[in-house]
Amino acid sequence: MNTPDYTIQYRNSDLGQTGLFFYNSAPDLAALYPSESVAATGRFFVTDTAVAALPCMKDFISRFTLSGDTGCRNKDLLLVITAGETYKTIDTVLRIAKTALEHNLGRKSLFVAIGGGVVSDLTAFAASIFKRGAGLEIVPTTLLAMADAAVGGKTGCDFGAYKNMLGTFYPARRIHFYPAFLRTLPEGEYRSGLAEALKTGLLFNAGLFDLFKAGKKKLFENESAMIRACVMAKAKIVEEDVTEEGPRMLLNFGHTFAHALESVVGLGKVSHGDAVAWGMGRALDLSVRLGLCAPAYRDEVYAVLAAYGWETGPVHPALAAQITDMPAVLIEAMKKDKKNSSEKIRVILQKGLSDTVIQEVAEDRIRVVLAGG
């Protein structure tokens, strides 16, 4: 194994370290996990049907003779789960654990998640509860997973109609970044990841926001730099506060609105990134209405949101028009959000670029930025 490009050291924590590896080459899982290097403790690769079908995965997948969705070869085990946010359930987590159990994996075995945020969140959750914790590595294949989900140790699954209600803090030991994976992504999924990258820019990196303002072409030319900027910004935050007692909460910018939207429209009906992008617009509108931030900054962000195809208005198009009092429904969903500990709703707001605050806001103030017409 090479030396990592960076190692995340979780302060005041025994969650260990996470080595970050950036590759300019085309993804080659067969080379990253050579079949001759299998430890006696076993490796367990988990991916989904979409990733398993990619041409760049062919050599690696062909190593296994699949029986149903599971394949073995020596001490290596592969499970291919069905792709999609609707499968981000506790049932899938338990399926991963059950497969590991049936193949006699132990707590010293290595779970390897190869996929987007759904695959990595589920696999990491399963690894964290399997015999009280097995080894974990992640190969993120989407922009969302690279820029956000894979880094920082949050694991989880949806439960009932609510996002990520169950989960643990359990960082991977190593994360392998191949930006070339992104050439395999549908446009909608790519855009979903861009929203988290834009969030990073607004919160921590004015240069990254400038890159967004410079337009899509310029941004894509600098894709690897964008990913690294996101990963490093997140690495710095989680080093200080992996369990989200303090500064890590800033990363929820846009997310109180986004999670409510995703719950109300039904999980999987709107991409997480599109929801977050809309949520950031709502958070900035709220910031303006609370007198925290100048309208000019909000409008500058609105312009970027619109340029990348995101909704800037109070009513997201995915919201069914027939529901009476949609703001009340969204606010009810916000109250179920796990970051809320009291009657008021905690929202991440901005006074301006790179100037972020956490505030508990009364329902009626939030209602205003959700009401159309």
Give least dist CB 84 to a copy of itself, A: 21
Q: Does 37 interact with a copy of itself (rule: CB under 8 A)?
A: no
Q: Does 129 interact with a copy of itself (rule: CB under 8 A)?
A: yes
Structural element, H or E, at residue 44: strand 43-48
Q: Does 151 interact with a copy of itself (rule: CB under 8 A)?
A: no
Measured N-to-C along each axis, helices 187-204 and 206-213 cross at an angle, to the nearest 10 degrees, of 140
Are the C-beta atoms of residues 109 and 75 closer than 8 Å to each other? Answer: no
Closest CA to 84 of 53, 115, 123: 115
Q: Choose, by CB under 8 A, the member of 22, 28, 30, 41 that binds a copy of itself.
A: 41
Q: What residues from 260 to 299 belong to the interface with a copy of itself (CB under 8 A)?
A: none
If the CB atoms of residues 39 and 294 are measured against a copy of itself, the closer one turns out to be 39
If the CB atoms of residues 156 and 201 are measured against a copy of itself, the closer one turns out to be 156
Q: Does 339 interact with a copy of itself (rule: CB under 8 A)?
A: yes
**Residues 286, 280: Cα–Cα separation, whole Å:** 10
On the CB side of 137, CA atoms within 13 Å amount to: 19
**Residues 86, 89: Cα–Cα separation, whole Å:** 7
Q: Choose, by CB under 8 A, the member of 4, 6, 15, 30 that binds a copy of itself.
A: 15
If the CB atoms of residues 159 and 308 are measured against a copy of itself, the closer one turns out to be 159
Give least dist CB 96 to a copy of itself, A: 11
On the CB side of 21, CA atoms within 13 Å amount to: 19
Q: Does 94 interact with a copy of itself (rule: CB under 8 A)?
A: yes
Q: Choose, by CB under 8 A, the member of 336, 351, 365, 367 that binds a copy of itself.
A: 336
Are the C-beta atoms of residues 119 and 51 closer than 8 Å to each other? Answer: yes
For residue 65, give the amino acid letter: T
Give least dist CB 368 to a copy of itself, A: 23
Are the C-beta atoms of residues 155 and 172 closer than 8 Å to each other? Answer: no
# residues near a copy of itself by CB under 8 A: 43
* Contacting range for a copy of itself; rule: CB under 8 A; set: 6-14, 17-25, 197-205, 224-232: 6-14
Are the C-beta atoms of residues 80 and 13 closer than 8 Å to each other? Answer: no
Closest CA to 93 of 101, 145, 175: 101
Closest CA to 47 of 137, 164, 108: 137
For residue 305, give the amino acid letter: L
Q: Choose, by CB under 8 A, the member of 30, 66, 165, 329 that binds a copy of itself.
A: 165
If the CB atoms of residues 129 and 208 are measured against a copy of itself, the closer one turns out to be 129
Q: What residues from 234 to 263 belong to the interface with a copy of itself (CB under 8 A)?
A: 243-244
Distances (CA, A) of 241 to 10, 13, 60, 247: 8, 9, 36, 7
* Contacting range for a copy of itself; rule: CB under 8 A; set: 106-114, 233-241, 271-279, 321-329: 106-114
* Contacting range for a copy of itself; rule: CB under 8 A; set: 158-166, 216-224, 230-238, 259-267: 158-166
Q: Choose, by CB under 8 A, the member of 4, 159, 318, 361 that binds a copy of itself.
A: 159
Q: Does 12 interact with a copy of itself (rule: CB under 8 A)?
A: yes
Are the C-beta atoms of residues 211 and 194 closer than 8 Å to each other? Answer: no
**Residues 293, 330: Cα–Cα separation, whole Å:** 24
Give least dist CB 101 to a copy of itself, A: 6
Please tell me the total number of residues recorded for the chain in this structure.
373
* β pairing state of 110-115 and 135-140: parallel
If the CB atoms of residues 59 and 360 are measured against a copy of itself, the closer one turns out to be 360
Q: Contact positions toward a copy of itself, by CB under 8 A?
A: 12-15, 40-41, 90, 94, 97-98, 101, 104, 106-108, 125, 128-133, 154-156, 159-160, 162, 165-169, 243-244, 335-336, 338-343
